[in-house]
Structure 1
Amino acid sequence: MIQFCYAMVFIFEAIISYIFISNKYTPKTSYPTIFCFFSTSVITQFIINIVSNGSTNIVGFLACNFLLCILCFNANILQSFFTSAILTAILYLTKMCIMFSTALIFKIDIDETESNSINFAILNGCFMLFYFLVTYIVSKFSIKENKAVLQLNKTTLLFFLPVTSILIMGGMSYVAIHYELDMFMYILFLVGTLLLMYSNIVVFLVHEAVLQTQAENTSLKLQKQKSEIDTEYYSILQNQYENSNILIHDIKRHLLSIKALSNEKDFEAINKYIDNLYDNYQIKYLRKYSDNSLINAIMNRYVNACKENGVDFYCDIRDIDFSCISDNDITALLDNLLENALEASQKAENKKMELTVKQTNTNYIVINVWNYCAKAPDMKDGKLQTTKSNKFIHGYGIKSIKRIAKQYNGNVSYNFEPEEMKFSIAVVLKIK
């Protein structure tokens, strides 16, 4: 029974270690491989526990977590050692806290905890839950962008669950120490302890998954709202350009009217006439890049933005029919592509970006954007990562691009050339 309890403890410790480490670092290998490494860690620690003493167990726990950080996650040697040291310190302190509290409350010697196997199992369940609770809190406050999230959501209410479970198991331990129970009750206590231990982790993991899903949905909704606002903005911009074109078309008539007023020396009327033109028309030059007026508005906006920021922007859009793509999707797609390219180009030594749109096989539109960068993009597991400081609320631009590509049965690919510090992204959309 004692060895079975140790086996459950090591499994539970491995689960907690995975939760703690994965909250801090991204995996660098597949999940089946990670499972194999953590399973090997559990077996190794179990063997060490059988053939050695307590101090060796601590060293084994430290070494196993250090190797897990190095082999399974994107952590360097210093980060791996620091993380494993934190886990080891929390493990030792929480265990001492539970053991001394038990000895004080139940008025028994610490060495007597193993005399009753059921009591030993229950106390280890209390210790594991307390260890999980402390590591969870530490992992949240050790990640900068999660501090606000932890304060704003209702995660703190979940802390009552492990605390309540510890109190329940403490009561079970008291009963096991002071009363003679039959085998059925002992088994019931043991099963109850295991269920309480693992149900706490399941509840917290499900809660984390729900929070992440809610955050992603909120960000996607904000992205959709931004696209709708941008579409409305471009619609207004198109009207302004149309008014400008009308004014340019009628400029000869306006000049003749102003000349007539000038001949009559009616300067007040001239001023009113000019003011009226200024109020009703906003003269803007709209360069034509496409037959699609919305795309022309988007292109002109970024051409002006590039000029203001000293970025050389080349654009080549062929005579392509975009009628199969909604205005919101066109806006979200081009805005995200060009905004990311402009942001990266501003920081690059060679401030240059390019957009080309072509149609292939009459069924596909291929959008290519490339730009020079100041540094290599952050890519992990083949996925592009945001460079903004708060990764919890950023990084949805590329997700929006992928969503639109998937919606039109297309795909997204990107490439980085380190020799030229050149990043390119290609979006393929099926239009027929």
Structure 2
Amino acid sequence: MNNTEIIFELSISLFESYLMIEFISKFNGYKYLGSKKNILFISAVILLFVNITVANYIEVFIEIPSYIAFVIMIIYSIIALRGKFLVKLFSSIIFNVVLILINSFSLFILGMIFNVSVEDMITTFGIYRFVCLITSKLILFYISRIILKLKNYKSEETPLSIWTSMTIIPILTIFIMVTITESAVFNNDTRITFYLLLSIIGLILINIIIYFLFMRLGNEYEIIKENELLKYNNMLRNKHSKEIKELYKEVQTMRHDMKNQIISICSSIQDENFNKAIDYANGIIENIDNTKKFIFTKNDMFNAIVNNKLSEANYKGIKTSYSINYELDQRIEDVDINILFGNLFDNAIEACEKLKNNKEITLVIDKKRDYIFIEVKNTIDKSILKENPNLLTTKHNKLNHGIGVKSIKKIVEKYDGIINYYEKGNIFSCNILLLEEKA
């Protein structure tokens, strides 16, 4: 090959490598931002480019470069991308399947049109190979865009059973396509080539149908989970509303009783019965300790739900503390405050109730750069994340697996936030950053 041909081949290889890494990155989502994300992305593209380039100049079994490329994509996915391993595996497999199907389809179709053997199209550079490479890469580009556009739901919410089923067909397709391609290379019979082409078309149709069916199944599953989430949130709002009403009713009763007690104190002082006055005063203090408002901010819903939960914890013998150095901005809707803090405290209270002693919950709200920082910590006697990394419910009703955690996550995402769970010693912590409203 001359220099122009070499540059063309290298350009095609680089473009293909870029498409492979870009596809799985967009399918799964990046784990990091900034320079680290770019370095990992570029490194993976370079490794794939080197693999493809070396394979073009060294005689190896046709499937070996594909296997190496697949391994590179998986390693990159694990290091640089978010989500479940099986989803990363699926995205890597599906792109390789699309790549192999498009390359083979282009070779067979254009070979038949130009009356050139598949082997010559692969090994001999000329106008036919040039047209084949350009055609296949353009098709690959547009097909990859369509697949990414069709993936319009959150893959991390889809059960692993669905992703396992989705992965089997593409894996089988890869093995079948390797066999078909090798058969075409070592056999120049036009009739056999035609039947092999029909086999490729059949595989393409099977994979398209399977992909559409599973995408639809995934969408239906997401709708089901959304409905469960709405039911759960409505239940939670009703529960918290009832608790808040009971708290305010108790406060009203306490105010009424306090008025009578103050009158009694005044009367006892006038009668110089100071011991009786002290007893009355101690009774008032005890009532305030049992039913007290802990937090006062400009946000009434925040005050109501947090004070109610702190009061509930106090009744259950759980020590509570708080540090409110920054107030929630007004764009956060009351219903979201209700669900967010209701779930955070319900989870913390439930965890503390399982402890025999050292029961404690801490709330911190502060500002960190452009974010509102929210932290709810509770004591534990053993690791939660080690035994239950997905924070699934431990209650008997398994239908709503971790739905409270999903509610929290959904609200955090709504306000462009970040959520993180971690443990340090005997403390379990949920950290949330919500993007602050710009003035």
Compute the TM-score of the two structures, normalised by the length of structure 1. Answer: 0.48
Structure number with greater CO (CA < 8 Å, separation at least 6) is 1
Compute the TM-score of the two structures, normalised by the length of structure 2. Answer: 0.47
